[in-house]
Amino acid sequence: MILITGGAGFIGGNFVHHWFERCARLSLPEEPVVVFDKLTYAGNPHTIGEHLQAGRATLVQADIADREAVRQALATHRPRAILHFAAESHVDRSIHGPGEFIHTNMVGTFSLLEEARAYWNSLEGADKEGFRFLHVSTDEVYGSLSDTDPAFSETTPYAPNSPYSASKAGSDHLVRAYHHTYGFPTLTTNCSNNYGPYHFPEKLIPLMILNALDGKPLPVYGDGLNIRDWLYVRDHCEAICQVLEKGRLGETYNVGGINEIKNIDVVTTICRKLDALRPRADGQPYESLITYVKDRPGHDRRYAIDPTKIQSEIGWKPAETFESGINKTVQWFLDHTDWIDTVRSGAYRDWLDQNYAERA
Ligand code: NAD
Ligand code: TYD
């Protein structure tokens, strides 16, 4: 089995769905997963509820910085790989309170690495040879690009600008050092901005969809001309599966959507989709809700990924265009008000107490 930290979050949760669908599609044995997740505000067991209920996935609610809990989970479940998604992930929150970001992204990753290394050292033969630690990171570690700079490659120097990206850069360096010093079998992926189902509505795309549906202002930071390279979350999940299978130990792979888009264009695209799918009662276009607001301090101007390495070495490329991915995303949010309610009301915590306390 594989152990997934942060598997109740946005990308980790999508990964759990992708994993089982992929096993079925490729006629692979259904390999179970253990989700190791603290269930912070961003973690929601509803996201993976069907797999928990079917017994394919097991939830361990704990902090990656709790070494005893990590040790126990590894000893009990004996995974062949650890996929490390758990993180504090929102730049704006890192500006208001960096402490949690240092705790989880740096201290937590360090604790996980220490316990994973001890576990790996206890393995023998093919189990030890085949073990993998895949660290999921971000393109934000490379800093900000001007409009004319080339896209980030794996050799771009690190220049993180926010407490979030600095804490992720620190975790990347630890992972690199554990491979270099101890020969620990690591793989690292640095991806661009993800979007898709189960996206927590504090991030740009889900926030805009839900605010629009509520008739609330659509807050665009600064001049709205910042650029992100949007990656559909399932494309990212498939990239992780392929890096896990084929990646060279100690290497990093950049994963990008080949979709550089200005924020204002993302927001107007969402507005137009909603105009077509769910027109407003007053007949006004959703774009009339767009409101420019004060910029984020230190706001990175542009991110873009050069995916040449993962394309040529691993053979992965994104399947979705922004047009196809945003259509799926908007439709998913229109169809899943039940999930949105669990996120908004916090009822998922009650659901957890009712259904999982006794199984912990
Ligand atoms: P998320 O915030 O939606 O989910 C994070 C998950 O980690 C949650 O389930 C949360 O409960 C869990 N978690 C947080 N602190 C924990 C701790 N101390 N111990 C155990 N679990 C903890 O994040 P996401 O968007 O799914 O991101 C997943 C990974 O991908 C992160 O490492 C992030 O840095 C990286 N990433 C995300 C994006 C993006 O666009 N979302 C882009 C690039 C990289
Ligand atoms: P976000 O989803 O927070 O991801 P990141 O900061 O990690 O790239 O933001 C994406 C872009 O959207 C970023 O340039 C900030 C901008 N943004 C807004 O303009 N308004 C908002 O309300 C939010 C949340 C983000």
Give the domain ranges of the chain.
2-198+230-258+302-319
- Give catalytic status of residue 182 as yes or no: no
Which residue among the candidates 115, 140, 300, 306 is catalytic per the annotation? 140
The pLDDT of residue 341: 87
CA-nearest residue, atom 17 of ligand 1 = 63
Question: Is residue 352 scored above 90 in pLDDT?
Answer: no
The pLDDT of residue 348: 34
The pLDDT of residue 345: 67
CA-nearest residue, atom 10 of ligand 2 = 204
Question: Is residue 249 scored above 90 in pLDDT?
Answer: yes
Enter the pTM of the model.
0.96
- Give catalytic status of residue 139 as yes or no: yes
Q: How far is the CA of 227 from the centre of ligand 2 (A)?
A: 10
Question: Is residue 347 scored above 80 in pLDDT?
Answer: no
**Which of 199, 203, 290 most suits a substitution to test ligand 2, by most atoms within 8 Å of the C-beta?**
203
**What pLDDT digit, counting tens, does each position of 137-159 carry?**
999 999 999 999 999 999 999 99
**What pLDDT digit, counting tens, does each position of 302-318 carry?**
999 999 999 999 999 99
Q: What is the 3-class SS of the chain, one letter each residue?
A: CEEEECCCCHHHHHHHHHHHHHHHHCCCCCCCEEEEECCCCCCCHHHHHHHHHHCCEEEEECCCCCHHHHHHHHHHHCCCEEEECCCCCCHHHHHHCCHHHHHHHHHHHHHHHHHHHHHHHHCCHHHHHHCEEEEEEEHHHHCCCCCCCCCECCCCCCCCCCHHHHHHHHHHHHHHHHHHHHCCCEEEEEECCEECCCCCCCCHHHHHHHHHHCCCCEEEECCCCCEEECEEHHHHHHHHHHHHHHCCCCCEEEECCCCEEEHHHHHHHHHHHHHHHCCCCCCCCHHHHEEEECCCCCCCCECCECCHHHHHHHCCCCCCCHHHHHHHHHHHHHHCHHHHHHHHHCHHHHHHHHHHHHHC
CB of 187 sitting under 6 A from ligand 1: no
The pLDDT of residue 117: 98
Residues whose beta carbon lies within 6 Å of some atom of ligand 2: 91, 193, 203-204, 207, 219-221, 226, 228, 263, 296
Q: How far is the CA of 228 from the centre of ligand 2 (A)?
A: 9
Q: Which CATH number fits domain 2-198+230-258+302-319: 3.30.56.10, 2.60.120.580, 3.40.50.2300, 3.40.50.720?
A: 3.40.50.720
- Give catalytic status of residue 286 as yes or no: no
Q: How far is the CA of 136 from the centre of ligand 1 (A)?
A: 9
CB of 12 sitting under 6 A from ligand 1: yes
